[in-house]
Chain A
Amino acid sequence: QKEVEQNSGPLSVPEGAIASLNCTYSDRGSQSFFWYRQYSGKSPELIMSIYSNGDKEDGRFTAQLNKASQYVSLLIRDSQPSDSATYLCAVRLTGGGNKLTFGTGTQLKVEL
């Protein structure tokens, strides 16, 4: 089992819909979780960080964390074509120090 798993996609959603991106992790003791967006040919940019169970909202983005089930998700409301990118889930694993372990990313396509 990979330490951080994401469905590679592509996930296609129509413009205006809600995009739901999921990530599971293997280390039950993990405490810090991050979502990054990466456009093709560019470096990742931070969207959200989440540390506690529940939901965290920032504009059109909502991160959801469920430590008991070991998953973290990202919801994008009112999806726009500009949201089309690869979304990377990152987890700070127990014993990993300060480094992040990244999933392989989910490619999101928002279609007109």
Chain B
Amino acid sequence: GAVVSQHPSWVICKSGTSVKIECRSLDFQATTMFWYRQFPKQSLMLMATSNEGSKATYEQGVEKDKFLINHASLTLSTLTVTSAHPEDSSFYICSARDGGKGGNIQYFGAGTRLSVL
């Protein structure tokens, strides 16, 4: 399957700071990437859809000013958690859609575990 790289894999930060997470598709071009959040023992929650060269589409209830998404190229999307607070501590996972011969499938990055102190 296709490879999606997500970095960093874990981060600990102080309350009030901002954290940037990168998601890269390594062997295919991803016009669309997705950002999910998952709390312990819960299912994936889609936060936003990131389209290359345009503004992200946020799901209902997700603060776009707090979770900044940039998709500047066909292989890179970033999620910035601004002014992070302890309640933002979670497992953040990106996925990239391979719309080519990959059959329009989403491949996931390894995830970023964020802990806000």
B15 within 8 Å of A by Cβ? no
Residue in A36, A44, A102 whose Cβ sees the most chain B Cβ within 10 Å? A44
Closest chain B residue to A99, Cβ basis = B49
Residue picked from A36, A49, A98, A105, most chain B C-beta under 10 Å: A98
Count of interface residues, chain A, beta-carbon cutoff 8 Å = 20
Q: Is the CB of A99 within 8 A of B107?
A: no
* One of B61-69, B70-78, B82-90, B97-105 contacting the partner: B97-105
Number of contacts between A and B (CB, 8 Å)? 46
Q: Mark B37-67, 1 if CB is under 8 A from A, else 0.
A: 0000011101001000000000000000000
A34, A92, A100, A105: residue with the most chain B Cβ atoms closer than 10 Å = A100
Whether the Cβ atoms of A43 and B43 lie closer than 8 Å is: no
Is A42 in the interface zone, CB < 8 Å from B?
A: yes
Closest to B48 in A: A99
Shortest distance between the CB of A11 and any CB in chain B (Å): 16
| B108 x A45 contact (CB < 8 A) | yes
Residues of B within 8 A of A (CB): 1, 6, 32, 34, 42-44, 46, 49, 93, 97, 99, 103-111
